[in-house]
Amino acid sequence: MTGRSVSQDPQSGEEFYGAELRRRREAAGLTQADVGDRVVCSPSLIAHFEAGRRTPSLEDAQRLDAVLGTDGFFVRMRRTLGRIRFAGHFEAAAEAEQLATFIEEYAVSLVPGILQTERYARAVYRGFQPHAATESIDKEVASRLERTHILDGPDAPRMWAILNENVIRAVVGGPDVMAEQLRHVMALGRSGRVLIQVLPYGVGAHATMNSMLSLMRFADAPDLAYVEGLHTGVLTDDPLLVRRYRDAYDLARAAALPPEVSLELLESAAEDYNHARS
């Protein structure tokens, strides 16, 4: 993967898969013909895989992992193909997220998508697209909820989420939806599946105040950083830029409330929403 603006160069899941195959083949010092010989297919088919025009069969993916020594990477990544699609600017980031071992996210105004409840997600999409048909919103919500499953199971990535206080004060969907959403985040935090911190208003100016930020680590690939604006997104593995994003994240982490205090603040906010509802 190379540093890129996803909004200018959108990738499908198949294109992302192909780019990873090409990168790992070249890193192994192999030509497309070399890989074709060992996988028992033509070099042109390898070229189609790398261009994202064809999807390897399960057997092909298993042989690719064996040839390139990637320990099941291409089999696991293949499972993400053909699933519910995401916005073009987020497609490559969503595919990468499925393979991450550690996700660190700073949320400036909304609960991170991976942590959202169904009703909260629906309110978010309805707010973004007030004139959209119900069927369109349903698809968006289904896509969002599909992402939440990456936190399930023994192989789930570790996650560290820093929430700007905006996230818990903006009344998305009404008090009832907010109370449910905050309690969901609290449950994830108290289960140990996600480490939660809140960055309070009192901190004032800080390193990440202008943008959401997601950092992803992998077992056998370079770190990625993803930042997003309105209908745009940038995914990069440029080492210098990723380092700058990580420095900003570390500064926000240092300024945020400790995890246990953060959960107490979420509990207090959820209780306030419960009172407002009644």
CA pair distance 45, 10, nearest whole angstrom: 23
For 161, list phi and psi in degrees, rounded to 5.
Answer: -120, 125
pLDDT the model gives residue 163: 98
| β-pair partners for 233 | 228
CA pair distance 122, 172, nearest whole angstrom: 10
User: Which tokens go with 247?
Assistant: 């420095």
For 233, list phi and psi in degrees, rounded to 5.
Answer: -160, 150
**The residue type at 244:** R
The residue extents of the domains of the chain are 11-82, 88-277
CATH architecture assigned to 11-82: Orthogonal Bundle (1.10)
Tell me the pTM. Answer: 0.71
pLDDT the model gives residue 91: 76
Q: What is the pLDDT along the chain (278 residues), one digit of tens a residue?
A: 443 333 334 456 677 788 889 989 999 999 999 999 999 888 888 998 998 878 888 888 999 999 999 888 888 878 767 554 666 677 788 888 888 999 999 999 999 999 999 999 999 999 988 998 887 888 788 878 878 888 887 888 999 999 999 999 999 999 999 999 999 999 999 998 899 999 999 998 888 888 899 999 998 889 999 998 888 889 999 999 999 999 999 999 999 999 999 999 999 999 999 998 77
| In contact, 91 and 109? CB cutoff 8 Å | no
CATH fold for domain 88-277? Endonuclease; Chain A (3.30.870)
